[in-house]
């Protein structure tokens, strides 16, 4: 089965106005290297497993950062607290601290990224 059959989300794009700053932000918070996408607008893809869902940060006149739209939750499994500490060191607001999701669905937290987007982090454990 493909990711289209197994997941409600198949791709996401997080807008940026300062591509280098956003790249540094996400690589620092998630402790992971983004994958540059060649051609077109500046774009880098979040690391993912083959066949897994992913998305990117992108700088384009068609994309505008906002704290008032949809919220994307990024995988911070097993490193939620460490990711929040790295975000705090970058000086970004933590909008929702680590919070348990009832029913055994793990934990989440939300922050404002370097571009002003409201972004979530999700983990089965912290």
Q: Which domains does the chain have, with CATH numbers?
A: 3-123 (3.10.180.10)
Residues 6+ apart with CB under 8 A from 79: 31, 123
- What tens digit of pLDDT does each residue of 71-112 get? 999 999 999 999 999 999 999 999 999 999 999 999 999 999
pTM of the predicted model, to two decimals? 0.88
In this predicted structure, the answer to whether residue 1 has a pLDDT above a threshold of 70 is no
Give the C-alpha separation, 90 to 74, whole Å: 18
**Residue 120 DSSP class:** E
Asked if 73 and 120 touch (Cβ cutoff 8 Å), the reply is yes
């Amino acid at each position: 089965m493909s990711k289209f059959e197994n997941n409600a989300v198949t791709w996401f794009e997080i807008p940026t106005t300062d591509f280098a700053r956003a790249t540094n932000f996400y690589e620092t918070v998630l402790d992971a290297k983004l994958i540059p996408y060649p051609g077109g607008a500046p774009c880098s893809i979040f690391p993912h497993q083959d066949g897994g869902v992913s998305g990117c940060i992108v700088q384009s006149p068609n994309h505008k950062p906002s704290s008032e739209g949809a919220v994307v939750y990024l995988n911070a499994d097993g490193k939620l607290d460490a990711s929040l500490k790295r975000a705090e060191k970058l000086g970004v607001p933590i909008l929702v601290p680590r919070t348990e999701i009832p029913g055994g669905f793990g934990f989440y937290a939300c922050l404002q990224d370097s571009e002003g987007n409201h972004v979530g982090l999700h983990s089965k454990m912290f």
